[in-house]
Structure 1
Amino acid sequence: MTTQNTTTDNKSIVQQALTALVATGDVDALAPLLRDDFVHHRPDSTTSTKTQWLDDVQTALVPLADMQVEIQHLLADGDHVVMHSRRWLPGGEPAIAVVDIWRLDGGLIAEGWEIIEPLAQVGANMVWWEPADH
Structure 2
Amino acid sequence: MSIENNKSIVEKAIGELFGAGGVDAAAAYLHDDFVDHGPGVVTSNKADWIATVRQLPVADMKIEVHHVLAEGDHVTMLSRRWLPWESHWIAVVDIYRLEDGLIVEHGEVFQPLPETDRDPAAHSLVPW
Q: Does TM, normalized by the shorter one, top 0.5?
A: yes
Q: Percent identity?
A: 51
Q: Is the 8 A contact 1:25 1:65 kept in 2?
A: no
Unpaired stretches in structure 2, ≥5 consecutive residues: 118-128
Structure 1 residue 119, shift from structure 2 partner: 1.0
Match of 1:115 among 109, 112, 128: 109
Name the amino acid aligned to 1:96.
Answer: I
Give per-residue Cα distances to partners, 1:94-129, cap 9 Å, x unaligned.
1011111000001000100011211139x9xxxxxx
Find the aligned partners of 1:68 and 1:78 in 2 and give their Cα distance.
29
The aligned counterpart of 2:31 is 35
Find the aligned partners of 1:47 and 1:119 in 2 and give their Cα distance.
26
Structure 1 residue 25, shift from structure 2 partner: 5.8
The aligned counterpart of 2:94 is 100
TM-score normalized by the length of structure 1: 0.75
- Bigger share in helix: 1
Runs of 4+ in 1 over 6 A off after TM superposition: none
Give per-residue Cα distances to partners, 1:53-109, cap 9 Å, x unaligned.
12221211x2x422211111100001000001001157xx41011111000001000
Q: Is the 8 A contact 1:79 1:104 kept in 2?
A: yes
The aligned counterpart of 2:77 is 83
Greater Cα radius of gyration, structure 1 or 2: 1
Number of residues of Structure 1 aligned to a counterpart in Structure 2 = 113
Structure 1 residue 26, shift from structure 2 partner: 2.2
Unpaired stretches in structure 1, ≥5 consecutive residues: 124-134
